[in-house]
Amino acid sequence: MIVECFHCRQYVDAQEAGSYWRNYNGLGPARRYTLLRCPTCQEPILVSQTNIGNIADGDIWDTPVIVFPESDIRVNPIAPREIRTAFEEACTCYRAQAYTASAIMCRKTLEGICIVHGINERNLQSAIKKMKEQSLIDDRLYEWSDVLRIVGNEAVHDVGVVLSQPDAKDTIEFTNAILDYLFSYRDRFEQFKRRRSSK
Protein backbone atom coordinates (compact mmCIF):
# COMPACT_ATOMS: atom_id res chain seq x y z
CA MET A 1 0.00 0.00 0.00
CA ILE A 2 1.41 3.42 -0.97
CA VAL A 3 1.40 5.72 2.07
CA GLU A 4 3.48 8.56 3.40
CA CYS A 5 5.99 7.53 6.06
CA PHE A 6 6.35 10.45 8.50
CA HIS A 7 9.80 9.19 9.53
CA CYS A 8 11.19 8.91 6.02
CA ARG A 9 9.24 11.95 4.82
CA GLN A 10 8.34 10.24 1.59
CA TYR A 11 5.78 7.98 0.00
CA VAL A 12 6.67 4.34 0.42
CA ASP A 13 5.16 1.05 -0.67
CA ALA A 14 4.49 -0.22 2.85
CA GLN A 15 4.04 -3.93 3.51
CA GLU A 16 1.03 -5.26 5.38
CA ALA A 17 1.81 -6.75 8.79
CA GLY A 18 -1.73 -7.27 10.08
CA SER A 19 -5.30 -6.07 9.78
CA TYR A 20 -8.57 -5.69 11.66
CA TRP A 21 -12.03 -5.17 10.20
CA ARG A 22 -14.73 -3.38 12.11
CA ASN A 23 -17.85 -4.69 10.37
CA TYR A 24 -20.91 -2.63 9.56
CA ASN A 25 -22.86 -2.40 12.82
CA GLY A 26 -25.87 -0.32 11.82
CA LEU A 27 -24.19 2.84 13.09
CA GLY A 28 -21.36 3.42 10.71
CA PRO A 29 -19.88 1.88 7.58
CA ALA A 30 -17.37 -0.95 7.84
CA ARG A 31 -13.86 0.13 8.55
CA ARG A 32 -10.64 -1.64 7.80
CA TYR A 33 -7.50 -1.01 9.83
CA THR A 34 -4.22 -2.12 8.33
CA LEU A 35 -0.93 -2.26 10.17
CA LEU A 36 1.91 -1.59 7.79
CA ARG A 37 5.67 -1.72 7.93
CA CYS A 38 7.74 0.96 6.20
CA PRO A 39 10.20 -0.84 3.90
CA THR A 40 12.82 1.88 4.44
CA CYS A 41 12.87 2.59 8.19
CA GLN A 42 10.86 -0.47 9.43
CA GLU A 43 8.63 1.78 11.58
CA PRO A 44 4.93 0.84 11.96
CA ILE A 45 2.15 2.77 10.24
CA LEU A 46 -1.52 2.17 11.03
CA VAL A 47 -4.05 3.22 8.41
CA SER A 48 -7.83 3.25 8.44
CA GLN A 49 -10.13 2.93 5.42
CA THR A 50 -13.89 3.17 5.12
CA ASN A 51 -15.93 0.83 2.96
CA ILE A 52 -17.64 3.04 0.37
CA GLY A 53 -18.85 0.11 -1.69
CA ASN A 54 -22.37 -1.28 -2.01
CA ILE A 55 -24.10 -4.59 -2.59
CA ALA A 56 -23.78 -4.34 -6.38
CA ASP A 57 -20.13 -3.32 -6.50
CA GLY A 58 -18.91 -5.10 -3.37
CA ASP A 59 -16.29 -3.73 -1.00
CA ILE A 60 -14.57 -0.53 -2.09
CA TRP A 61 -12.06 0.91 0.36
CA ASP A 62 -11.46 4.64 0.24
CA THR A 63 -8.10 6.45 0.48
CA PRO A 64 -6.19 5.32 3.59
CA VAL A 65 -5.98 7.79 6.47
CA ILE A 66 -2.96 7.51 8.73
CA VAL A 67 -4.05 6.83 12.33
CA PHE A 68 -0.57 6.22 13.72
CA PRO A 69 1.92 7.79 14.05
CA GLU A 70 0.37 11.20 14.56
CA SER A 71 1.67 13.81 12.19
CA ASP A 72 4.62 15.63 13.73
CA ILE A 73 3.32 18.96 12.56
CA ARG A 74 0.16 20.38 13.97
CA VAL A 75 -1.17 23.87 13.75
CA ASN A 76 -1.85 25.69 17.01
CA PRO A 77 -5.67 25.84 17.20
CA ILE A 78 -5.60 29.00 19.35
CA ALA A 79 -3.82 31.12 16.73
CA PRO A 80 -6.05 33.52 14.76
CA ARG A 81 -7.63 32.03 11.65
CA GLU A 82 -5.59 33.93 9.04
CA ILE A 83 -2.36 32.86 10.72
CA ARG A 84 -3.49 29.25 10.92
CA THR A 85 -4.39 29.36 7.22
CA ALA A 86 -0.94 30.66 6.26
CA PHE A 87 0.85 28.14 8.46
CA GLU A 88 -1.35 25.25 7.28
CA GLU A 89 -0.32 26.13 3.74
CA ALA A 90 3.34 26.05 4.83
CA CYS A 91 2.73 22.54 6.22
CA THR A 92 0.91 21.45 3.04
CA CYS A 93 3.86 22.64 0.93
CA TYR A 94 6.26 20.81 3.24
CA ARG A 95 4.31 17.54 3.00
CA ALA A 96 4.32 17.89 -0.77
CA GLN A 97 8.11 18.33 -0.59
CA ALA A 98 7.77 21.91 -1.92
CA TYR A 99 10.33 23.07 0.62
CA THR A 100 11.11 26.52 -0.80
CA ALA A 101 7.39 27.36 -1.01
CA SER A 102 7.02 26.11 2.56
CA ALA A 103 9.66 28.61 3.78
CA ILE A 104 7.89 31.42 1.93
CA MET A 105 4.62 30.56 3.72
CA CYS A 106 6.46 30.46 7.07
CA ARG A 107 7.68 33.98 6.36
CA LYS A 108 4.10 35.01 5.58
CA THR A 109 2.98 33.43 8.86
CA LEU A 110 5.58 35.52 10.65
CA GLU A 111 4.28 38.68 8.96
CA GLY A 112 0.77 37.74 10.10
CA ILE A 113 1.97 37.27 13.68
CA CYS A 114 3.37 40.83 13.72
CA ILE A 115 0.19 42.29 12.22
CA VAL A 116 -2.17 40.64 14.73
CA HIS A 117 -0.01 42.09 17.48
CA GLY A 118 -0.68 45.55 16.06
CA ILE A 119 2.74 45.98 14.50
CA ASN A 120 2.61 47.49 11.04
CA GLU A 121 6.15 48.32 10.03
CA ARG A 122 7.26 48.89 6.46
CA ASN A 123 9.23 45.66 6.44
CA LEU A 124 9.41 42.43 8.38
CA GLN A 125 12.87 43.18 9.77
CA SER A 126 11.66 46.27 11.63
CA ALA A 127 8.42 44.53 12.61
CA ILE A 128 10.34 41.74 14.35
CA LYS A 129 12.57 44.32 16.04
CA LYS A 130 9.47 46.10 17.31
CA MET A 131 8.08 42.79 18.66
CA LYS A 132 11.23 42.56 20.76
CA GLU A 133 11.12 46.20 21.86
CA GLN A 134 7.55 45.69 23.06
CA SER A 135 8.65 42.53 24.95
CA LEU A 136 6.28 40.35 22.92
CA ILE A 137 9.25 38.12 22.17
CA ASP A 138 12.50 37.69 24.06
CA ASP A 139 16.06 37.70 22.68
CA ARG A 140 15.99 34.02 21.75
CA LEU A 141 12.71 34.20 19.85
CA TYR A 142 13.90 37.39 18.21
CA GLU A 143 16.93 35.53 16.92
CA TRP A 144 14.78 32.63 15.66
CA SER A 145 12.32 34.99 13.96
CA ASP A 146 15.10 36.95 12.30
CA VAL A 147 16.71 33.81 10.87
CA LEU A 148 13.31 32.60 9.62
CA ARG A 149 12.83 35.98 7.98
CA ILE A 150 16.19 35.68 6.22
CA VAL A 151 15.48 32.11 5.05
CA GLY A 152 12.09 33.29 3.74
CA ASN A 153 13.70 36.25 1.97
CA GLU A 154 16.21 34.04 0.22
CA ALA A 155 13.42 31.69 -0.80
CA VAL A 156 11.42 34.59 -2.27
CA HIS A 157 14.13 36.62 -3.94
CA ASP A 158 16.82 34.20 -5.02
CA VAL A 159 15.52 31.98 -7.80
CA GLY A 160 18.60 29.76 -7.47
CA VAL A 161 17.86 28.94 -3.83
CA VAL A 162 16.42 25.49 -3.17
CA LEU A 163 15.76 24.74 0.45
CA SER A 164 16.81 21.32 1.74
CA GLN A 165 14.36 19.07 3.60
CA PRO A 166 16.09 19.42 7.01
CA ASP A 167 16.15 23.22 6.67
CA ALA A 168 12.49 23.26 5.65
CA LYS A 169 11.59 21.04 8.62
CA ASP A 170 13.42 23.36 11.03
CA THR A 171 11.75 26.38 9.45
CA ILE A 172 8.35 24.76 10.04
CA GLU A 173 9.18 23.76 13.60
CA PHE A 174 10.63 27.10 14.66
CA THR A 175 7.63 28.90 13.19
CA ASN A 176 5.38 26.50 15.11
CA ALA A 177 7.33 27.12 18.32
CA ILE A 178 6.86 30.88 17.93
CA LEU A 179 3.11 30.33 17.42
CA ASP A 180 2.99 28.13 20.52
CA TYR A 181 4.94 30.64 22.56
CA LEU A 182 2.84 33.63 21.59
CA PHE A 183 -0.62 32.12 21.41
CA SER A 184 -0.46 29.34 23.99
CA TYR A 185 2.20 29.82 26.63
CA ARG A 186 2.47 33.59 26.78
CA ASP A 187 -1.28 34.16 27.00
CA ARG A 188 -1.75 31.25 29.38
CA PHE A 189 1.06 32.47 31.63
CA GLU A 190 -0.52 35.92 31.82
CA GLN A 191 -3.80 34.28 32.91
CA PHE A 192 -1.93 32.12 35.40
CA LYS A 193 -0.29 35.21 36.93
CA ARG A 194 -3.65 36.99 37.12
CA ARG A 195 -5.23 34.01 38.92
CA ARG A 196 -2.35 33.89 41.38
CA SER A 197 -2.50 37.60 42.16
CA SER A 198 -6.29 37.53 42.69
CA LYS A 199 -5.91 34.96 45.48
The residues that touch Zn ion, with contacts defined as CB under 5 A, are 5, 7-8, 38, 40-41
| Distance of closest approach, residue 165 Cβ to Zn ion, in angstroms | 14
| Distance of closest approach, residue 2 Cβ to Zn ion, in angstroms | 13
| Distance of closest approach, residue 4 Cβ to Zn ion, in angstroms | 9
- Please list the alpha-helical segments (H only) found in the chain: 81-95, 99-116, 124-133, 139-157, 165-179, 187-197
Whose Cβ is closer to Zn ion: residue 43's or residue 180's? 43
Whose Cβ is closer to Zn ion: residue 9's or residue 22's? 9
Q: What does the longest C-alpha to C-alpha distance in the chain come to?
A: 68
Between CA 62 and CA 178 the distance in angstroms is 37
| Distance of closest approach, residue 135 Cβ to Zn ion, in angstroms | 43
Whose Cβ is closer to Zn ion: residue 7's or residue 117's? 7
Strands 65-68 and 31-37: unpaired
| Distance of closest approach, residue 8 Cβ to Zn ion, in angstroms | 3
Q: What's phi and psi for 6, nearest 5 deg? A: -70, -25
Whose Cβ is closer to Zn ion: residue 8's or residue 60's? 8
DSSP 35-79: EEE-TTT--EEEEEEEB--BTTTB--B---EEEESPPS----TTS
Whose Cβ is closer to Zn ion: residue 7's or residue 169's? 7
